[in-house]
Amino acid sequence: MRNNIVMTAAAGLTAALLSSTAAMADFNATATTDLNIRSGPGPQYEVLGAIANSDTATVKGCIEGSKWCQVSYNGTTGWSYSEYLSADFDGQQTVISMAPQTAVVPVVENNQAGTNATVGAAGGAIAGALIGGPVGAAIGGVAGATAGLTASPPPTVKTYVTENRIDPVYLEGEVVVGAGVPDTVKLYPVPDYEYQYVYINGQPVLVEAGTRQIVYVYR
């Protein structure tokens, strides 16, 4: 069942139920970066696919008090992080997590919460949060994604990263180019290469050590 909620930006993505219980229709949202679709509402769930940067997905609704929304894209239905999805609110494109107080967004329930929260999850405790990323409402539109690598890394880098797999770290948020990795997360060098690597939320990523920003996500 869906209820209507008011999305309030004051505390990130908080929600208050409206008195009406009428269901709202699905709505469209645009990905502000290449954005994972996961099997459940959290970074520990497996990746089913990804919404391409600037592509449009259908949003079924969002969990009350959460930044995770149920989406459908190219035949895949799952969960995406709302900080990287923008929609038309009051005539202005704004990321869902920063929607104006007057915006009304349908609520969906987390059906996995009451049964087995680890179903479909890769496992691992949440150890912190990713920092920033291509998020934020801008005048006249949504801020674009932070630039990553202009070309794919050499095949030798992918070979090294996949053959030298390390235990993943799970961080709240989503693995996207431009997101910052906390200082508490250890980065690992790649021989004869300028970027370091780490596995975050089940995915290998390349990180610029000086800024600790993700510059590439292997999918």
pLDDT for 177 equals 94
How many residues are listed for the chain in this entry?
219
pLDDT at 34: 95
Whole-angstrom Cα distance, residue 102 to residue 108? 19
Low-confidence ranges of the chain (pLDDT < 70): 1-24, 112-124, 133-147, 150
Terminal-residue alpha carbon distance, the chain: 33
Give residue-wise pLDDT tens across range 133-165.
665 433 233 444 445 776 799 999 999 999 999
Architecture in CATH of 27-98: Roll (2.30)
Say if CB 179 and CB 132 are below 8 A apart: yes
Q: Would you list the domain boundaries of the chain?
A: 27-98, 155-217
Strands (E), the chain: 4-8, 14-17, 27-31, 35-38, 47-51, 56-62, 68-73, 76-81, 85-89, 92-95, 104-106, 126-129, 137-138, 141-142, 170-172, 188-189, 196-200, 203-208, 213-217
pLDDT value, residue 122: 54
Question: Does pTM surpass 0.95?
Answer: no
Answer yes or no: are the C-beta atoms of 53 and 31 closer than 8 Å: yes
